[in-house]
Amino acid sequence: MTVAGDISTIAGGLAGVAGTVGAVSVGFSLLRHPQPYLPWGHAIIRPQETDPLPGVLRRGLAGLTIPVRPGPHGELFIGPGAPQPGRTLRRLVLSPLFVRAKAGDGRLRRDQRLPFRLVVEFVGPRRDAETLLRAYRMLDRQLRDHAQLLSRSVDGVLEPGAVTVAVAGIVDVRELLAAQPVRYAFADGTFDDIGTRSAPPSLVPMISESWSRRFGWDGREPISAEERHLLHALVRAAHADGRLVRISGLTEGSRRARRAIWSELCAAGVDVIADTDQVGLVRHLRQCPVSQPVAPPVDPPRPARRTSPAPHPTRAEAVPRV
């Protein structure tokens, strides 16, 4: 049975009016001006944005970081102000992605070769451990409702899916994730995690750091040889450790300065570049793609009775990543 067939068995539970409206909204958005898939591009959603997914998919970006807050009825809410009915992660993000993957036989779009990376960032005034861990359990229940869509870890073995979910904003989430033999979310890492046993790639598959945490260059002048060497060395070390690299948190300068930083990130082989400037980032990545991109396949499982050999993977596709 294909992924699409598996999904159809539980799609009835997602066919509520709210989820359907969200999925239709995404579908019409993509039909207008679909853009080629950009595996290196990642959107950072501002808190005031209330329905970001259609624009992200239409531009071809391969992921988004979205702030959420726990609210009533076990839901995670997006957007500013008090929780609003229907303005939830389930309705506006998870259900539309699920419906698209079902329609696309396990892919969000025909040219997808890499998981769409959804980073769920927990925000809000209440930051105590009990509230945040309760929020993660809300997310975990919703992810299990969409299990056929997602990358997962089963006893430490990674199984890529159409969407990979990472959790940010919860300090103690790693212990909670590590205790789950089967889970559908991963922890964001830092370059400090490279080579550590406490944060293996099966738990922390991606390094995610703010540019300003390690680098002082703002893109207005040429980058120094020391900072360029450091950037390339960190990316090489992360890749050698079996991890991908996502860089965000660029300085709030002119687009020209940001393009200079994007160019250095591309040249260093950074796997994912995240920014709030979606339009500028898309234009730049179409002109200057990342060097030596990692492009693992996102193929739906094949029926066991099929015996035809699969195409020989390229070197970049040999090791599945999530």
Report the number of distinct structural domains present in the chain: 2
Residue 171's Cβ-count burial label (10 Å; 0-12, 13-18, 19+) is exposed
Please tell me the predicted confidence (pLDDT) of residue 313.
Answer: 38
Span 42-65, average pLDDT: 93
Structural domain of residue 164, as residue ranges?
A: 1-187
In this structure, are 124 and 137 located in the same domain? yes
Are 231 and 268 in contact, with CB atoms under 8 Å apart? yes
In this structure, are 43 and 135 located in the same domain? yes
- pLDDT tens digits, residue range 147-206? 999 999 999 899 999 999 999 988 778 989 999 999 999 999 999 999 999 999 999 999
In angstroms, the CA 231 to CA 252 distance is 20
In angstroms, the CA 117 to CA 105 distance is 18
Higher pLDDT, 124 or 314: 124
Cα 148 vs. chain centroid, distance in angstroms?
A: 16
Please check whether residue 308 lies inside any domain of the structure. no
In this structure, are 33 and 86 located in the same domain? yes
Residue 217: closest CA among 250, 247, 182 = 250
Q: How many helices (H) and strands (E) does the chain have?
A: 11, 12
| pLDDT(29) > 60 | no
- pLDDT tens digits, residue range 96-145? 999 999 999 999 988 999 999 999 999 887 778 788 888 999 999 999 99
| pLDDT(300) > 60 | no
In this structure, are 150 and 260 located in the same domain? no
Please check whether residue 130 lies inside any domain of the structure. yes
Please check whether residue 200 lies inside any domain of the structure. yes
Categorize the per-residue pLDDT at 32 as very low, low, confident or very high, splitting at 50, 70 and 90.
low
- Which pTM does this prediction carry? 0.81
In this structure, are 178 and 196 located in the same domain? no
Please check whether residue 293 lies inside any domain of the structure. no
Span 270-299, average pLDDT: 81
In this structure, are 121 and 257 located in the same domain? no
Alpha-carbon dihedral angle through residues 185, 57, 299, 14, given to the nearest 10 degrees? 60
Please check whether residue 230 lies inside any domain of the structure. yes
In this structure, are 40 and 170 located in the same domain? yes
In this structure, are 115 and 98 located in the same domain? yes
In this structure, are 201 and 128 located in the same domain? no
Categorize the per-residue pLDDT at 321 as very low, low, confident or very high, splitting at 50, 70 and 90.
low
Residue 69: closest CA among 28, 127, 20, 118 = 127
Categorize the per-residue pLDDT at 297 as very low, low, confident or very high, splitting at 50, 70 and 90.
very low
For residue 276, the 8-state DSSP code is: S
In this structure, are 128 and 205 located in the same domain? no
Please check whether residue 118 lies inside any domain of the structure. yes
Decide which of 187, 213, 230 is a domain's last residue.
Answer: 187
Most confident of 8-22, 208-222, 249-263, 292-306: 208-222
Record the tokens describing residue 127, joined without a space: 């930051």
In this structure, are 204 and 131 located in the same domain? no
